[in-house]
């Protein structure tokens, strides 16, 4: 088998326990097959924040020697499977150490699998996933994002993801998955769910060049001579956007405005924590959706009913400016 890699992309502390449990389940299943493995976390930003995309990696090898060259990378770059626990993360994720936004499928190897938890069909999702210049597979596990907490969760997503993993890759078998769930976790009631997910996971081959063209903003990294001493984060003052952090990857919903109801009270502009609202010459507002994190404060603070609504990201295929009805 050699060495196999799995990347698990999840939404910050809200899905941390789930991602860690899936990673550990893959390693335990590999051990049942006399393989070796380890799992480790790397964050989309550091320290990890609520809602900000984060990553976990799993490395599986035939022996300890196979694992040694891969014990220290911050980010594995040739993943057999990329597991995505929230389908709105198709917009991209911040890589380790703020290297800029990267497509969700960037680290999936040629012929590898992008495994997404979603209610959408593969054909619907491929329309919003960035183009990759090599062939790969898109696999769908039916379900909605798990919003639990950083310490616990109460659903069966872990078992269903592991069951699908056994179908789309040779890293672990369904027998090993069922052993982990029943014996290691002591949750025999979830064994049937893993088998059902194994049977029902949808897999669609994706051709090279298929998907959406998406401009991915990149951060220009300073040379070592330009780096400031210690850990210095320059302040962003009063209603100005931070050019080094794009909020769009954290967003599950975006604001939708009815300009005909806007009273130009400025409350949304005053309370936006990301400074993503710009006042236009006509007194209305434009929102830069690269910086909007989807927190919903503008909608909650607006005094006019129905003026600003938060709409799920799956409604939109791109990150154009403020959307109007």
Residue 308 has a CB neighbour count (10 Å cut-off) of 22
String of DSSP letters for 83-139: EESSGGGGG-EEPTTS--EE-TTTTEEEEEEEEEEESS-HHHHHTTSBP-SS-EEEE
Q: Can you tell me the mean pLDDT for 17-42?
A: 93
The verdict on 51 and 95 lying in the same domain is yes
Mean per-residue pLDDT of the chain = 84
Question: Which domain covers residue 303, as residue numbers?
Answer: 224-324
pLDDT band, residue 325 (cuts 50/70/90):
very low
Tally the domains of the chain: 2
Q: pLDDT value at position 52? A: 76
pLDDT at residue 44 is higher than 60: no
The verdict on 62 and 105 lying in the same domain is yes
Has residue 218 been placed in a domain? no
The verdict on 89 and 10 lying in the same domain is yes
First to last CA, the chain: 53
pLDDT at residue 84 is higher than 80: yes
Take residue 302 and report the two structure tokens written for it: 């607006």
Of 95, 256, 89, 83, nearest to 157 by C-alpha is 83
Last residue of a domain, one of 178, 206, 234: 206
Last residue of a domain, one of 206, 236, 260: 206
Has residue 219 been placed in a domain? no
The verdict on 16 and 86 lying in the same domain is yes
Domain of 311, CATH number, reads 3.30.70.20
What radius of gyration, in Å, describes the C-alpha atoms of the chain?
21
Rounded to 5°, the CA angle 126-127-130 comes to 75
Take residue 29 and report the two structure tokens written for it: 């299943």
In this predicted model, what pLDDT tens digit does every residue of 149-202 receive, in sequence order? 666 777 899 999 999 999 999 999 999 999 999 999 999 999 999 999 999 999
Residue given tokens 């302040």 in the structure block: 235
Of 305, 270, 132, nearest to 214 by C-alpha is 132
Percentage of the chain exceeding pLDDT 90: 44
Q: Which of 5-14, 112-121, 258-267, 286-295 has the lowest mean pLDDT?
A: 286-295
CA dihedral 274, 276, 280, 282 (to 10 degrees): -80
Q: Which of 83-92, 163-172, 223-232, 245-254 has the lowest mean pLDDT?
A: 223-232
The pTM for the full model equals 0.81
Domain of 64, CATH number, reads 3.40.920.10
């Amino acid at each position: 088998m050699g060495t196999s890699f799995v990347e698990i992309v999840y939404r910050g502390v809200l899905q941390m326990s789930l991602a860690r449990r899936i990673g550990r389940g893959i390693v335990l299943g590999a051990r049942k097959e006399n393989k070796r493995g380890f799992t480790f976390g790397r964050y989309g930003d550091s320290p990890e924040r609520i809602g900000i995309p984060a990553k976990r990696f799993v490395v599986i090898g035939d022996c300890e020697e196979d694992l040694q060259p891969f014990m220290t990378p911050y980010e594995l770059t040739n993943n057999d499977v990329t597991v995505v626990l929230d389908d709105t993360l198709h917009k991209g994720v911040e890589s380790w150490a703020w290297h800029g936004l990267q497509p969700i499928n960037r680290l999936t190897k040629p012929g590898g699998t992008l495994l997404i938890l979603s209610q959408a069909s593969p054909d619907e999702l491929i329309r919003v996933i960035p183009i990759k210049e090599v062939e790969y597979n898109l696999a769908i596990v039916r379900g909605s994002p798990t919003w639990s907490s950083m310490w616990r969760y109460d659903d069966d997503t872990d078992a269903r993801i592991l069951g699908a993993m056994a179908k789309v890759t040779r890293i672990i078998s369904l027998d090993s998955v069922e052993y982990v769930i029943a014996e290691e976790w002591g949750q025999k009631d979830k064994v049937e769910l893993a088998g059902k997910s194994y049977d029902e996971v949808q897999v669609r081959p994706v051709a090279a060049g298929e998907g959406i063209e998406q401009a991915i903003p990149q951060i220009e990294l300073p040379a070592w001579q330009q780096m400031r001493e210690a850990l210095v984060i320059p302040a962003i003052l009063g209603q100005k956007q931070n050019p080094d952090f794009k909020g769009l990857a954290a967003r599950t919903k975006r604001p939708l405005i009815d300009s005909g109801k806007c009273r130009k009270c400025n409350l949304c502009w005053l309370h936006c924590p990301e400074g993503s609202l710009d006042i236009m010459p006509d007194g209305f507002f434009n929102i830069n959706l690269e910086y909007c994190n989807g927190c919903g404060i503008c909608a909650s603070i607006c005094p006019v009913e129905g003026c600003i609504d938060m709409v799920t990201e799956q409604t939109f295929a791109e990150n154009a400016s403020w959307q109007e009805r």
